[in-house]
Amino acid sequence: MPRSYGVAYTGSVGSATHTQLGIWEPATPLSRFRLFEFGISASPAPADNTTRFTVNRFGTAAPTGGSALSGASLPPLDVGEPASAALGMGGATGGETIGAQLMMVSVNQRATFRWVAAPTKELVCIITTLNGIGLYAAYQSAAYAVDTYIMWDE
């Protein structure tokens, strides 16, 4: 049975070319991870601003320049499980090469968005070192802080 993990990040809306929040395999992967849920919201002083988020695969290098997330920052959803094999990055400013776009969703800052995969329809990472999946801010109408989370199975 797969092990499930989750990670959250709060920060300024990022860019179309670097992850707002992403996870990837830092070493030779033993299995592909499957993203089964993500959410987007904005808590402080909501206004009528919009952001178009895309979910993309990325690879060739790890994201850099943001908040590195590993160990206790990537907790298992079952506290009896070991640490995640994946690493995470919130608010990246460089590093990764954006790949295939898997989804796109536009969100109003006043709304909360949650996506949950139908059974067996999870977003699957390529089984190669330094490949991952991330949320990108493809367009934004104004600068604001956004709360994001990702949940996946390994």
Domains defined along the chain, listed by start: 4-153 (2.60.120)
Q: Which residue has the tokens 């160990």?
A: 71
**Do 139 and 152 meet the contact criterion of CB atoms below 8 Å apart?**
no
- pLDDT reading at 15 higher than 70: yes
42-68 confidence digits (pLDDT tens): 877 778 888 899 999 998 888 888 888
Q: What is the pLDDT of residue 34?
A: 92
Neighbours of 145 (CB within 10 A): 13
Q: What is the DSSP letter of 65?
A: S
What pLDDT does residue 1 have? Answer: 63
Residue 29 predicted with pLDDT over 80 = no
Measured between alpha carbons, how far is 64 from 26 in angstroms, rounded to an integer? 13
User: Which residues neighbour 79 within 8 Å (Cβ) at sequence distance 6 or greater?
Assistant: none
pLDDT tens track for 88-133 = 889 888 888 889 999 999 998 888 999 999 999 999 988 888 889 9
144: closest CA among 57, 46, 64? 46
Question: What's the pLDDT at 37?
Answer: 96
Sign of CA dihedral 72, 73, 74, 75: positive
| Cβ atoms 38, 117 nearer than 8 A | no
pTM: 0.89
Tens of pLDDT, residues 129-152: 888 999 998 888 888 888 899 999
% of the chain with per-residue pLDDT over 70? 98
Q: Which residue has the tokens 């499980």?
A: 81
Question: Does the pLDDT of residue 28 top 80, yes or no?
Answer: no
Q: Are 86 and 132 in contact (CB under 8 A)?
A: yes
pLDDT at 138: 87
